[in-house]
Copies of this chain bind each other. A is one copy, B any other.
């Protein structure tokens, strides 16, 4: 893991991290509470959490010795922006198709 400055695309490329996000979409959780759901060791989860945090997918509130993880929208926004570009692409393609069909109808 080592270098924790992955971009959002690399962050969600890992299935374990996606599952962590999914768990957090149900409930706020501590590191150990998350780790229980995985085969991997707690340190491994801990590293994933750091990655998710650095990329803006979660925020963390320390309560005593516990770290409570909560979903955070920032990371998702970057992905939405990227996808929106292609949504527009498909939208435009449909528009053009519509124009073509209109032309055809009018000539008819």
Question: Residues on A close to B: CB < 8 A?
Answer: 7, 9-10, 12-13, 15, 18, 21, 25, 71, 73, 76, 79-80, 82-83, 85-87, 89-90
Contacts and interface: CB of A to CB of B under 8 A. Distances in A.
Contacts of A12: 9, 13
Contact of A25 (B9, B18, B80, B85): B85
B90 A86 contact: no
| Copies of the polypeptide in the assembly | 2
A83 B86 contact: no
Contacts of A80: 83, 87
Nearest to A86: B76
A32 to B, nearest CB: 23
A3 to B, nearest CB: 15
Contacts of A83: 76, 79-80, 83
Contacts of A15: 7, 9
